[in-house]
Amino acid sequence: MLEGLRNKRFVSLIDKESGVVINVFKGLKNDYLVSPCRLCTCTDFLIHFVQGNRRYPCYHVIGFYIAYKEQKVVVLELDRGLIKDIVLEIALQGFSRTLRKILG
Ligand SMILES: [Zn+2]
């Protein structure tokens, strides 16, 4: 968890126009769309939580909760076009090249 907080892996993308917030966990290899305290697109979440054999969701969902509390979330205000690119890249390729470019 500390590694994630230290390496700025918890990222909130805010749509400049609408204010819609999309949360992304930027992993080493894969990025995930996360709804803090609720849902994540990682395999760990999907397998264990959806099957109902575990009470807590996954590292990313809990991590976001902590990152928010400790104010360690990286907040990026972006144009809708960029956010769309990032979400599509994560959904289709498992990671976002655009997000990596922005964060450097
Ligand atoms: Zn997850």
DSSP letter (8 states) at residue 19: -
Task: Look up residue 47 and give its two tokens.
Answer: 């397998």
Residue 73 pLDDT exceeds 80 = yes
Q: Contact, 90 vs 28, CB < 8 A? A: no
pTM of the model: 0.87
Residue 36 pLDDT exceeds 80 = no
Q: Residues 5-18: what's their mean pLDDT?
A: 94
Ligand 1 center to 101 CA (angstroms): 22
Cα–Cα distance list, 25 to 17, 52, 94 (Å):
23, 23, 11
Ligand 1 center to 82 CA (angstroms): 23
Q: Residues 26-51: what's their mean pLDDT?
A: 89
Residue 38 pLDDT exceeds 90 = no
Side-chain half-sphere CA neighbours of 11 within 13 A? 23
Q: Tell me: the pLDDT tens digits for 45-59?
A: 988 877 887 778 899
Q: Contact, 42 vs 32, CB < 8 A? A: yes
Residue 80 pLDDT exceeds 90 = yes
3-state helix, strand, coil in the chain (%, to 5): 45, 25, 35
Ligand 1 center to 1 CA (angstroms): 12
Ligand 1 center to 40 CA (angstroms): 5
State the average pLDDT for the chain.
92
pLDDT given for residue 24 in this prediction: 97
